[in-house]
Structure 1
Amino acid sequence: MSNENTPITKGSTIEVTIESLAFGGQGIARHEGMTIFVDRAVPGQVVRCEITKLKKRFAEAKRVEVVTASETEQEPFCEYFGTCGGCVHQDMKYDAQTYWKGRQVSETLTRIGKIADDIEGMGAEALPSPLQKGYRNKMEFSFSGYADDLKVGFKMRGSEYDVLSIASCPLLPETCAGIPALVEEYCQASKIGSHRHGKGGYWRKLVVRVAHATGEIMIHLITAPAKSHHAVKPLEKLLYNNLAQLKTFAHSTRKGRADFATGERLISLGGEPTITETLTRDDGQTVDYMITPNAFFQTNSVGAQVLYNRCVEIARPRKTDVVYDLFCGSGGIGLFMAKDVKEVIGIELSKETVHSATQNARLNGIENTKYFAGNLSSDKDFPADLPKPDMIIVDPPRSGVPAPTLKKMKSLKPEKILYISCNPATLARDVAELGDGYTLERFSAVDMFPHTSHVECIALLTKSR
Structure 2
Amino acid sequence: MPKIVCDGKLSDPSQHLAILSPAMHCRFFESNQCRSCNWLDRPYSQQLNDKEALLNTLLAPFSAPPLLPSNRSASQGFRDKAKMVALGTAKHAMLGIINHRGQALSLCECPLYPAEMQALLGELERWLASIAIAPYDIKSRQGELKHLLLNRNNEGQYMLRLVLRSTNAETKIRAALPNLLAQHPKISSVSINIQPVPMAIIEGPEERILSGDVWLRHKLNGINLYQRPKGFFQTNLDMAAELYATAAKWTADLDIAIYWDLFCGSGGFGLHCLTPERQLIGIEIEAEAIACAQRSADEMGLGAQVRFQALDSTAFASDSALTAPELIIVNPPRRGLGNELCQQIKQLAPDYLLYSSCNANTLATDLSHLEGYRINRVQLFDMFPHTAHYEVLVLLQRC
Indicate how the Cα distance of structure 1 residues 408 and 166 shifts in structure 2: closer, same or farther if over 3 A, else same: same
2: CA distance between counterparts of 1:125 and 1:93?
18
SS at match of 2:62: coil
Aligned to 1:19: none
Distance 2:235 2:133 in 1: 33
Residue in 2 that maps onto 1:83? 33
Give the match for residue 25 of structure 1. Answer: none
| 2:266 equivalent to 1:324 | no
Deviations 1:61-112 (A, max 9, x none): xxxxxxxxxxx9x8751211242243223333323322222222112223xx
Report whether the alignment pairs 1:154 with 2:104: no
- The amino acid across from 2:292 in the alignment is S
Distance of 1:115 and 1:249 partners within structure 2: 47
The structure that has the greater radius of gyration is 1
* More off after superposition, 242-251 vs 329-338: 242-251
**Residue 343 of structure 1: CA displacement?**
1.2
- Structure 1 residues 443 and 408 mapped into 2: Cα distance closer, same or farther (>3 Å)? same
1:447 is aligned to 382
Q: Distance between the aligned counterparts of 1:421 and 1:155, measured in 2?
A: 29
TM-score normalized with structure 2 length? 0.85
1:325, distance to aligned residue in structure 2 (A)? 0.4
Letter aligned with residue 56 of structure 2? S
Which of 351, 356, 361 is matched with 1:420 structurally? 356
Residue 193 of structure 1 pairs with residue 128 of structure 2:
no
Q: Go from structure 1 to structure 2 and tell me whether the alpha carbon gap of 1:99 and 1:228 turns closer, same or farther (over 3 Å shift).
A: same
Distance 2:226 2:309 in 1: 18
- Residues 172-321 of structure 1 mapped to structure 2, 5 A cutoff: 172-189=113-130, 190=132, 192-194=134-136, 196=138, 198-212=140-154, 214-280=155-221, 286-318=222-254, 320-321=256-257
Going from structure 1 to structure 2, the CA distance change for 1:385 and 1:176 (only over 3 Å counts) comes to: same
User: CA 1:303 to 1:376, structure 2 compared with 1: closer, same or farther past 3 Å?
Assistant: closer
Alpha carbons of structure 1 residues 274 and 85: separation in structure 2 relative to 1, 3 Å: farther
Check conservation: 2:228, 2:288, Cα contact below 8 A.
Answer: no
1:235 CA displacement:
4.7
Percent identity between the two aligned chains: 26
Deviation at 1:427, TM superposition (A): 0.6
Task: Report the TM-score when normalising by structure 1.
Answer: 0.74
SS in 2 for 1:233: helix
CA RMSD of aligned residues (A): 2.6
Distance 1:454 1:354, change over 3 A: same
Change (3 A) 1:126 1:265: same
Higher helix share: 2
Deviation at 1:312, TM superposition (A): 2.7
Shift of 1:207: 1.1
Q: Is residue 349 from structure 1 mapped to residue 285 from structure 2 by the alignment? A: yes
Whether the 8 Å CA contact 1:318–1:341 is kept in 2: the answer is no
Whether the 8 Å contact between 2:377 and 2:395 is mirrored in structure 1 is yes
Question: How much has 1:340 moved relative to structure 2?
Answer: 6.8
In structure 2, do the counterparts of structure 1 residues 227 and 333 end up closer, same or farther at CA, with 3 Å as the change threshold?
same
From the superposition, tell whether residues 421 and 320 of structure 1 become closer, same or farther in structure 2 (CA, over 3 Å): closer
Aligned length: 376
- Give 3-state SS (helix, strand or coil) of 1:442's partner: strand
The whole-number CA distance in structure 1 between the counterparts of 2:330 and 2:195 is 29
**In 2: Cα distance, 1:133 partner to 1:375 partner:** 36
1:356-395 to 2 correspondences below 5 Å: 356-367=292-303, 368-378=305-315, 385-395=321-331
Moved more, 132-141 or 173-182: 173-182
8 Å Cα contact 2:334-2:359 kept in structure 1: yes
Separation in 1 of the partners of 2:253 and 2:203? 34
Question: Following the alignment from structure 2 to structure 1, what is the Cα–Cα distance between the partners of residues 133 and 294?
Answer: 43
The answer for the alignment partner of 1:121 in structure 2 is: 66
5+ residue gaps, structure 2: 1-19
SS in 2 for 1:339: coil
CA shift digits 1:326-385 (9 cap, x unpaired): 000011111111137511111111222222211111123334211112223336x96665
Q: Residue 324 of structure 2 contacts residue 348 of structure 2 at CA under 8 Å; is this kept in 1? A: yes
Post-superposition CA distance 1:296-321 (Å, at most 9, x none) = 22211111121122223334553633
- Structure 1 runs not aligned, ≥5 long: 1-71, 281-285
Find out whether 1:133 has 2:81 as its counterpart: no
Could you tell me how far apart the structure 2 residues matched to 1:424 and 1:397 are?
11
Distance 1:340 1:319, change over 3 A: farther
Would you say 1:105 and 2:55 are equivalent positions? yes
Partner SS state of residue 340, structure 2: helix
Which residues in structure 2 correspond to 1:164-179 (within 5 Å)?
164-179=105-120
Deviation larger for 324-333 or 178-187:
178-187
